[in-house]
Copies of this chain bind each other. A is one copy, B any other.
Amino acid sequence: WGWRKSLSFDLIQEWVLKNPEASICTAQGAKKFKDIAIFQDYHGLPEFRMAVANFMGKVRGNRVTFNPDRIVMSGGATGAHEDDCLLLGLIPERDFWVPVPYYPGFDRRFEMANWGTASSSTCESSTISRSREQPWKNAYEKAQKANIRVKGLIITNPSNPLGTILDRETLKSLGFHHEKNIHLVCDEIYAATVFTQPRFISIAEILEEEDVVCHRDLVHIVYSLSKDMGFPGFRVRNPCTHYNDAVSGLRRERCRVSGWVSTQTQCLIASMLSDNEFVDRFIVESAKRLEARHTKFTEGLEEQGTTCLKSNGGLFVWMDLHKHLKEQTFEAEMALWRTIINIVKLNVSPGCSFHCPQPGWFSVCFA
Protein backbone atom coordinates (compact mmCIF):
# COMPACT_ATOMS: atom_id res chain seq x y z
CA TRP A 1 0.00 0.00 0.00
CA GLY A 2 1.54 3.21 -1.13
CA TRP A 3 4.68 1.77 -2.65
CA ARG A 4 5.33 0.15 -5.95
CA LYS A 5 5.55 -3.11 -4.12
CA SER A 6 6.55 -5.41 -6.88
CA LEU A 7 6.48 -3.21 -9.91
CA SER A 8 10.10 -2.86 -10.90
CA PHE A 9 12.03 -4.87 -8.38
CA ASP A 10 13.04 -7.43 -10.95
CA LEU A 11 15.01 -4.71 -12.76
CA ILE A 12 16.74 -3.61 -9.57
CA GLN A 13 17.46 -7.14 -8.43
CA GLU A 14 18.89 -7.99 -11.83
CA TRP A 15 21.13 -4.92 -11.67
CA VAL A 16 22.35 -5.79 -8.18
CA LEU A 17 23.35 -9.28 -9.26
CA LYS A 18 25.11 -7.99 -12.38
CA ASN A 19 27.05 -5.39 -10.36
CA PRO A 20 28.54 -7.19 -7.36
CA GLU A 21 31.22 -4.52 -7.00
CA ALA A 22 28.49 -2.06 -5.91
CA SER A 23 28.01 -3.87 -2.61
CA ILE A 24 30.49 -3.94 0.24
CA CYS A 25 29.20 -7.44 1.02
CA THR A 26 30.54 -9.20 -2.04
CA ALA A 27 34.01 -10.45 -2.86
CA GLN A 28 34.21 -7.78 -5.55
CA GLY A 29 33.24 -4.90 -3.25
CA ALA A 30 34.35 -6.02 0.22
CA LYS A 31 37.62 -4.13 0.08
CA LYS A 32 35.57 -0.95 0.54
CA PHE A 33 33.85 -2.35 3.68
CA LYS A 34 35.97 -0.57 6.25
CA ASP A 35 35.98 2.84 4.58
CA ILE A 36 32.22 2.74 4.07
CA ALA A 37 31.44 1.50 7.58
CA ILE A 38 33.42 4.24 9.31
CA PHE A 39 32.45 7.07 6.96
CA GLN A 40 30.79 9.78 9.07
CA ASP A 41 30.66 12.97 7.04
CA TYR A 42 27.21 14.52 7.25
CA HIS A 43 27.60 15.77 3.68
CA GLY A 44 27.15 12.15 2.62
CA LEU A 45 29.40 10.18 0.29
CA PRO A 46 30.33 12.51 -2.59
CA GLU A 47 29.51 9.78 -5.10
CA PHE A 48 26.11 9.37 -3.47
CA ARG A 49 25.23 13.03 -3.84
CA MET A 50 26.49 13.02 -7.43
CA ALA A 51 24.45 9.95 -8.30
CA VAL A 52 21.30 11.38 -6.74
CA ALA A 53 21.78 14.65 -8.64
CA ASN A 54 22.26 12.62 -11.82
CA PHE A 55 19.10 10.61 -11.18
CA MET A 56 17.05 13.71 -10.35
CA GLY A 57 18.10 15.21 -13.69
CA LYS A 58 17.27 12.01 -15.58
CA VAL A 59 13.84 11.79 -13.97
CA ARG A 60 13.23 15.34 -15.19
CA GLY A 61 14.07 14.32 -18.75
CA ASN A 62 17.59 15.80 -18.59
CA ARG A 63 16.09 19.23 -19.08
CA VAL A 64 17.68 20.46 -15.87
CA THR A 65 20.79 19.55 -13.95
CA PHE A 66 21.25 19.52 -10.21
CA ASN A 67 24.31 20.59 -8.30
CA PRO A 68 25.53 17.76 -6.01
CA ASP A 69 26.74 20.39 -3.56
CA ARG A 70 23.17 21.55 -3.07
CA ILE A 71 21.93 18.07 -2.23
CA VAL A 72 21.28 17.57 1.47
CA MET A 73 20.61 13.99 2.43
CA SER A 74 18.28 12.84 5.13
CA GLY A 75 17.36 9.57 6.71
CA GLY A 76 13.70 10.36 7.16
CA ALA A 77 11.04 12.19 5.25
CA THR A 78 9.45 13.74 8.28
CA GLY A 79 12.66 14.99 9.76
CA ALA A 80 13.61 16.42 6.40
CA HIS A 81 10.53 18.56 6.13
CA GLU A 82 10.78 19.68 9.73
CA ASP A 83 14.40 20.60 9.39
CA ASP A 84 13.74 22.59 6.26
CA CYS A 85 11.21 24.61 8.12
CA LEU A 86 13.45 25.12 11.11
CA LEU A 87 16.26 26.29 8.91
CA LEU A 88 14.09 28.55 6.86
CA GLY A 89 12.91 30.16 10.06
CA LEU A 90 9.37 29.01 9.42
CA ILE A 91 7.21 28.29 12.40
CA PRO A 92 5.06 25.26 11.71
CA GLU A 93 1.83 26.54 13.03
CA ARG A 94 -0.16 28.66 10.63
CA ASP A 95 2.88 29.70 8.65
CA PHE A 96 2.12 27.35 5.79
CA TRP A 97 -0.11 27.30 2.86
CA VAL A 98 -0.96 24.01 1.20
CA PRO A 99 -3.50 23.44 -1.53
CA VAL A 100 -6.13 20.94 -0.45
CA PRO A 101 -6.49 18.03 -0.74
CA TYR A 102 -3.02 17.27 0.53
CA TYR A 103 -1.01 14.44 2.09
CA PRO A 104 -2.17 14.04 5.72
CA GLY A 105 1.42 13.55 6.86
CA PHE A 106 1.88 17.30 6.53
CA ASP A 107 -0.55 17.78 9.39
CA ARG A 108 1.44 15.62 11.74
CA ARG A 109 4.59 17.34 10.63
CA PHE A 110 3.61 20.93 10.87
CA GLU A 111 0.35 20.87 12.75
CA MET A 112 -0.79 23.11 10.00
CA ALA A 113 -4.03 24.93 9.95
CA ASN A 114 -6.11 24.13 6.93
CA TRP A 115 -7.13 27.40 5.42
CA GLY A 116 -6.88 29.32 2.17
CA THR A 117 -5.61 27.81 -1.05
CA ALA A 118 -7.11 26.72 -4.31
CA SER A 119 -9.17 24.14 -2.57
CA SER A 120 -12.64 24.04 -3.93
CA SER A 121 -11.64 24.02 -7.55
CA THR A 122 -9.48 20.99 -7.04
CA CYS A 123 -12.12 18.34 -7.19
CA GLU A 124 -14.45 20.13 -9.50
CA SER A 125 -12.01 20.61 -12.28
CA SER A 126 -9.88 17.87 -13.69
CA THR A 127 -6.69 19.31 -12.28
CA ILE A 128 -5.65 21.90 -9.81
CA SER A 129 -4.02 23.82 -12.63
CA ARG A 130 -7.30 25.29 -13.80
CA SER A 131 -7.27 27.54 -10.79
CA ARG A 132 -3.99 29.23 -11.66
CA GLU A 133 -2.94 32.42 -10.00
CA GLN A 134 -6.17 33.86 -8.67
CA PRO A 135 -6.81 31.37 -5.82
CA TRP A 136 -3.35 31.95 -4.38
CA LYS A 137 -3.91 35.67 -4.45
CA ASN A 138 -7.33 35.33 -2.88
CA ALA A 139 -5.97 33.08 -0.16
CA TYR A 140 -3.13 35.46 0.50
CA GLU A 141 -5.45 38.42 0.83
CA LYS A 142 -7.73 36.42 3.09
CA ALA A 143 -4.73 35.57 5.28
CA GLN A 144 -3.61 39.15 5.46
CA LYS A 145 -7.06 40.25 6.52
CA ALA A 146 -7.02 37.61 9.27
CA ASN A 147 -3.59 38.79 10.40
CA ILE A 148 -2.07 35.43 9.56
CA ARG A 149 1.42 35.69 8.20
CA VAL A 150 2.21 33.31 5.37
CA LYS A 151 5.85 32.40 5.03
CA GLY A 152 5.75 29.26 2.96
CA LEU A 153 3.77 27.51 0.27
CA ILE A 154 4.06 23.75 -0.09
CA ILE A 155 3.29 22.09 -3.40
CA THR A 156 3.39 18.35 -3.97
CA ASN A 157 3.89 17.86 -7.69
CA PRO A 158 2.78 15.32 -8.92
CA SER A 159 0.02 15.75 -6.38
CA ASN A 160 -0.61 13.30 -3.60
CA PRO A 161 -3.51 12.31 -3.51
CA LEU A 162 -4.64 13.57 -6.93
CA GLY A 163 -1.99 12.00 -9.16
CA THR A 164 -2.15 15.11 -11.33
CA ILE A 165 0.66 17.42 -12.30
CA LEU A 166 0.90 21.17 -12.33
CA ASP A 167 1.14 22.76 -15.77
CA ARG A 168 3.69 25.33 -16.85
CA GLU A 169 1.35 28.30 -16.40
CA THR A 170 0.47 27.33 -12.85
CA LEU A 171 4.09 26.77 -11.93
CA LYS A 172 4.95 30.15 -13.40
CA SER A 173 2.16 31.78 -11.42
CA LEU A 174 3.92 30.68 -8.25
CA GLY A 175 6.24 33.59 -8.97
CA PHE A 176 3.52 35.64 -7.34
CA HIS A 177 4.69 34.37 -3.99
CA HIS A 178 8.17 35.54 -4.56
CA GLU A 179 6.97 39.10 -4.85
CA LYS A 180 5.74 38.60 -1.31
CA ASN A 181 8.96 36.90 -0.18
CA ILE A 182 7.24 33.59 0.49
CA HIS A 183 9.24 30.38 0.43
CA LEU A 184 8.17 27.74 -2.06
CA VAL A 185 8.73 24.13 -0.99
CA CYS A 186 8.19 21.77 -3.95
CA ASP A 187 7.87 18.17 -2.93
CA GLU A 188 8.64 16.24 -6.12
CA ILE A 189 8.68 12.86 -4.45
CA TYR A 190 6.55 11.29 -7.23
CA ALA A 191 8.49 12.78 -10.16
CA ALA A 192 9.40 9.41 -11.69
CA THR A 193 5.88 8.03 -11.42
CA VAL A 194 4.48 10.12 -14.29
CA PHE A 195 3.45 7.45 -16.76
CA THR A 196 1.71 9.36 -19.53
CA GLN A 197 1.23 12.80 -21.12
CA PRO A 198 1.29 15.66 -20.24
CA ARG A 199 4.86 15.33 -19.12
CA PHE A 200 5.98 16.33 -15.64
CA ILE A 201 7.53 19.78 -15.33
CA SER A 202 9.84 20.31 -12.38
CA ILE A 203 9.96 23.70 -10.69
CA ALA A 204 13.67 23.46 -11.50
CA GLU A 205 12.81 23.82 -15.19
CA ILE A 206 10.69 26.87 -14.56
CA LEU A 207 13.57 28.51 -12.74
CA GLU A 208 15.67 28.19 -15.89
CA GLU A 209 13.22 30.17 -17.99
CA GLU A 210 14.13 33.71 -18.79
CA ASP A 211 10.79 35.38 -18.24
CA VAL A 212 10.19 33.89 -14.80
CA VAL A 213 10.26 36.30 -11.89
CA CYS A 214 11.47 34.00 -9.18
CA HIS A 215 14.02 34.19 -6.42
CA ARG A 216 15.91 30.94 -6.60
CA ASP A 217 16.88 31.37 -2.99
CA LEU A 218 13.28 30.94 -1.95
CA VAL A 219 12.71 27.68 -3.83
CA HIS A 220 13.34 24.31 -2.17
CA ILE A 221 12.89 20.97 -3.84
CA VAL A 222 12.27 17.96 -1.64
CA TYR A 223 13.02 14.59 -3.16
CA SER A 224 13.18 10.96 -2.15
CA LEU A 225 13.84 7.52 -3.57
CA SER A 226 11.15 5.91 -1.42
CA LYS A 227 8.46 6.29 -4.03
CA ASP A 228 10.38 6.75 -7.25
CA MET A 229 12.56 3.71 -6.76
CA GLY A 230 10.41 1.87 -4.23
CA PHE A 231 12.95 1.80 -1.37
CA PRO A 232 11.08 3.07 1.69
CA GLY A 233 13.11 0.82 3.98
CA PHE A 234 16.39 2.24 2.78
CA ARG A 235 15.50 5.71 4.03
CA VAL A 236 16.95 7.65 1.17
CA ARG A 237 15.47 11.09 1.21
CA ASN A 238 17.30 14.05 -0.20
CA PRO A 239 15.90 17.47 -0.01
CA CYS A 240 17.65 19.53 -2.63
CA THR A 241 17.57 23.20 -1.93
CA HIS A 242 18.33 26.23 -4.00
CA TYR A 243 18.44 28.38 -0.92
CA ASN A 244 22.16 28.81 -0.89
CA ASP A 245 22.81 29.80 2.69
CA ALA A 246 20.69 27.01 4.07
CA VAL A 247 22.68 24.09 2.68
CA SER A 248 25.40 23.82 5.30
CA GLY A 249 23.02 24.65 8.11
CA LEU A 250 20.59 22.03 6.89
CA ARG A 251 23.34 19.43 6.79
CA ARG A 252 24.35 20.10 10.36
CA GLU A 253 20.76 20.14 11.52
CA ARG A 254 19.92 16.97 9.69
CA CYS A 255 22.94 15.25 11.16
CA ARG A 256 21.84 16.33 14.60
CA VAL A 257 18.19 15.47 14.36
CA SER A 258 17.26 12.98 11.73
CA GLY A 259 20.38 10.93 11.29
CA TRP A 260 21.39 10.04 7.80
CA VAL A 261 21.30 7.26 5.31
CA SER A 262 23.37 4.20 6.23
CA THR A 263 26.63 4.46 4.32
CA GLN A 264 26.18 0.88 3.15
CA THR A 265 23.00 1.97 1.40
CA GLN A 266 24.55 5.21 0.14
CA CYS A 267 27.28 3.17 -1.47
CA LEU A 268 24.89 0.81 -3.25
CA ILE A 269 22.54 3.57 -4.42
CA ALA A 270 25.45 5.68 -5.65
CA SER A 271 26.61 2.91 -7.88
CA MET A 272 23.13 2.05 -9.14
CA LEU A 273 22.02 5.59 -9.92
CA SER A 274 25.19 6.56 -11.71
CA ASP A 275 24.65 3.74 -14.20
CA ASN A 276 22.96 5.80 -16.91
CA GLU A 277 21.97 2.87 -19.04
CA PHE A 278 20.19 1.23 -16.12
CA VAL A 279 18.52 4.45 -14.99
CA ASP A 280 17.19 5.20 -18.48
CA ARG A 281 15.81 1.71 -18.80
CA PHE A 282 14.34 1.76 -15.29
CA ILE A 283 12.51 5.06 -15.84
CA VAL A 284 11.03 3.97 -19.19
CA GLU A 285 10.10 0.46 -18.09
CA SER A 286 8.71 1.63 -14.78
CA ALA A 287 6.46 4.23 -16.46
CA LYS A 288 5.26 1.60 -18.94
CA ARG A 289 4.32 -0.80 -16.14
CA LEU A 290 2.68 1.91 -14.07
CA GLU A 291 0.58 2.98 -17.04
CA ALA A 292 -0.52 -0.59 -17.71
CA ARG A 293 -1.50 -1.12 -14.12
CA HIS A 294 -3.25 2.25 -13.90
CA THR A 295 -5.25 1.52 -17.06
CA LYS A 296 -6.26 -1.93 -15.86
CA PHE A 297 -7.25 -0.58 -12.45
CA THR A 298 -9.26 2.44 -13.62
CA GLU A 299 -10.94 0.48 -16.43
CA GLY A 300 -11.95 -2.13 -13.88
CA LEU A 301 -13.43 0.60 -11.69
CA GLU A 302 -15.24 2.14 -14.65
CA GLU A 303 -16.84 -1.19 -15.48
CA GLN A 304 -18.24 -1.11 -11.95
CA GLY A 305 -19.50 2.43 -12.60
CA THR A 306 -16.82 4.18 -10.56
CA THR A 307 -14.89 7.06 -12.09
CA CYS A 308 -11.60 8.53 -11.00
CA LEU A 309 -10.06 11.95 -11.40
CA LYS A 310 -8.04 11.80 -14.61
CA SER A 311 -4.45 11.49 -13.52
CA ASN A 312 -1.10 10.67 -15.08
CA GLY A 313 1.26 10.19 -12.14
CA GLY A 314 1.56 8.80 -8.66
CA LEU A 315 0.85 5.33 -7.35
CA PHE A 316 -2.79 6.00 -6.49
CA VAL A 317 -6.03 7.26 -7.96
CA TRP A 318 -8.54 9.75 -6.58
CA MET A 319 -11.78 7.83 -6.75
CA ASP A 320 -15.20 9.49 -6.92
CA LEU A 321 -17.74 7.61 -4.81
CA HIS A 322 -19.98 10.55 -3.98
CA LYS A 323 -23.01 8.90 -5.53
CA HIS A 324 -22.66 6.03 -3.08
CA LEU A 325 -22.93 8.35 -0.08
CA LYS A 326 -26.22 8.22 1.82
CA GLU A 327 -26.03 11.98 2.02
CA GLN A 328 -23.39 14.44 0.86
CA THR A 329 -21.66 14.79 4.22
CA PHE A 330 -18.32 13.77 5.72
CA GLU A 331 -20.12 11.58 8.22
CA ALA A 332 -21.55 9.59 5.33
CA GLU A 333 -18.08 9.49 3.78
CA MET A 334 -16.67 7.96 6.97
CA ALA A 335 -19.50 5.44 7.08
CA LEU A 336 -18.79 4.40 3.49
CA TRP A 337 -15.06 4.23 4.30
CA ARG A 338 -15.69 1.81 7.19
CA THR A 339 -17.79 -0.35 4.90
CA ILE A 340 -15.07 -0.48 2.27
CA ILE A 341 -12.36 -1.27 4.82
CA ASN A 342 -14.35 -3.88 6.76
CA ILE A 343 -16.45 -5.54 4.09
CA VAL A 344 -14.76 -4.95 0.75
CA LYS A 345 -11.37 -5.26 2.53
CA LEU A 346 -9.87 -2.65 0.22
CA ASN A 347 -7.38 -0.29 1.83
CA VAL A 348 -8.62 3.14 0.80
CA SER A 349 -8.34 6.54 2.50
CA PRO A 350 -11.27 8.94 2.82
CA GLY A 351 -10.95 12.37 1.24
CA CYS A 352 -11.57 14.12 4.54
CA SER A 353 -8.23 12.86 5.84
CA PHE A 354 -6.67 14.82 2.97
CA HIS A 355 -8.77 17.88 3.88
CA CYS A 356 -10.76 17.53 0.70
CA PRO A 357 -13.54 20.14 0.85
CA GLN A 358 -16.11 17.90 -0.85
CA PRO A 359 -17.30 14.58 0.56
CA GLY A 360 -17.22 11.40 -1.48
CA TRP A 361 -13.62 11.17 -2.68
CA PHE A 362 -11.29 8.32 -1.77
CA SER A 363 -7.64 7.64 -2.42
CA VAL A 364 -6.68 4.16 -3.48
CA CYS A 365 -3.32 2.73 -4.36
CA PHE A 366 -2.88 0.73 -7.54
CA ALA A 367 0.86 0.11 -7.48
Q: CB within 8 Å of B: which residues of A?
A: 3, 5-6, 9, 12-13, 16-17, 20, 22-27, 30, 33-34, 36-40, 74-76, 78-79, 82, 108, 230-235, 255-265, 268
Contact = CB atoms under 8 A, between A and B. Distances in A.
Nearest to A6: B34
A148 B242 CA distance: 45
A34 B255 CA distance: 28
Given A23-B23, A26-B26, A37-B9, A235 B256 contact: no
B5 A33 contact: no
3 closest pairs, A vs B, by CB? Answer: A76-B259, A233-B263, A23-B25
Contact of A265 (B76, B230, B258, B265): B265
Contact of A40 (B16, B22, B39, B232): B232
B37 A259 contact: no
B17 A27 contact: yes
A74 B259 contact: yes
Contact of A37 (B30, B40, B231, B262): B231
Contacts of A262: 75, 233-235, 261-262, 264-265
A79 B16 contact: no
A88 B271 CA distance: 42
Given A16-B30, A78-B257, A258-B75, A40 B233 contact: yes
B76 A37 contact: no
Contact of A257 (B16, B25, B79): B79
Contacts of A234: 37, 262-264
B256 A78 contact: yes
A315 to B, nearest CB: 12
A9 B34 contact: yes
Contacts of A79: 256-259
Contact of A16 (B33, B39, B108): B33
